[in-house]
Amino acid sequence: MLTVAVLISGTGSNLRALLEAARHPDYPARVVVVGADREAAGLAHPEDFGIPSFLVPYERFDSREAWGEELHRQLSAWRPDLVVLSGLMRLLPPAVVAAWSPRLINTHPAFLPEFPGAHGVRDALAAGVAQTGASVIVVDDGVDSGPILAQERVAVLPGDDIASLHERIKPVERRLLIDVVRRIATGELDLEDIH
């Protein structure tokens, strides 16, 4: 059984999808802890599922590195097999990436390498593209630049705004994430082999 830690900053809808998938007895992974860098609304989900959570409030630390050290300490206590960033709106310090990657994956609401960064949905809309997408990648030291584990195109429709496009992307992200975690858990996807 693959043990998974999930880090969030927002509503955690992707986290909730993973929690619901992990309810099925034949799903080979389970979320053992949820962490957040702020009082995220998504912390309600581990509460609902009786799963522990921790908070490492970014603004309480005087540097990204100090925040990262505490985050690493909290994560290490749970010894997860995999760490999933799902709406964590924070770049991890290199020391944290080095400690966890490639067992450290991220979901992104664009068809990487298109539109990396914190505003992938906004940037796709601004670019006027007819389609964008969703991606699941291994986290490296760059910004959404790691090896791609799964991705799928999502149409941009006339009249879309950031919210409507993002809500169309998220179900695709969730499906990709749930499938990638399952493939990692079964060994079908070997993160050590990914480059």
Residue ranges in contact with ligand GRF by CB under 6 A: 8, 10-15, 42, 86-87, 107-109, 170, 173
Helix axes 120-127, 162-186, angle to 10 degrees: 130
- Judged by beta carbon, residue 11 or residue 164, the one nearer ligand GRF is 11
For residue 54, the surrounding DSSP H or E stretch is strand 53-55
Q: CB 187 → ligand GRF: shortest distance, Å?
A: 25
- Judged by beta carbon, residue 41 or residue 73, the one nearer ligand GRF is 41
Q: CB 13 → ligand GRF: shortest distance, Å?
A: 3
- Judged by beta carbon, residue 77 or residue 116, the one nearer ligand GRF is 116
- Residue partners of 149: CB distance under 8 A and separation at least 6: 105, 136, 137, 138, 180, 189, 194
Catalytic position from the list 45, 72, 108, 166: 108
Task: Give yes or no: 108 in active site.
Answer: yes
Report whether 86 contacts 15 (CB < 8 A): yes
Closest listed residue to residue 180, CA positions, set 118, 138, 121: 138
Q: CB 87 → ligand GRF: shortest distance, Å?
A: 3
Indicate which residues carry an active-site annotation: 108
